[in-house]
Amino acid sequence: MRHIDEPDLPTWIREAYETLEAEYASGIDELSRTDAEEILLAEDGNIEEEADAVYAIDRLLDRGWLYEVNDRLRKTE
């Protein structure tokens, strides 16, 4: 569940989520962390380094926008 009582995520992290959300919308239920990082590096214009992709994913997990099960990332409904 998203933590709505916390400050908003920075725009570039919300845009990273939208990039990943497009992958989930294509019928994929889960992504490996490595796949998610590669998608962000390839498709998100705000993310140029692996460390940025890792940071964005970590923030999305911390805030409940994504969750992790058996090393696979899933989108919170």
C-alpha span between 12 and 68 (Å, rounded): 21
Q: What is the pLDDT of residues 9-39, one digit of tens each?
A: 999 999 999 999 999 988 889 999 999 999 9
Query: Is residue 62 scored above 60 in pLDDT?
Result: yes
Query: Is residue 8 scored above 90 in pLDDT?
Result: no
Domain boundaries, given as residue ranges, for the chain: 11-75
β-bridge partners, 32: 72
Confidence category of residue 4, pLDDT binned at 50, 70, 90: low
Choices 2.60.40, 3.40.50, 1.10.10, 1.10.287: CATH for 11-75 = 1.10.10
Residue 5's pLDDT is 56
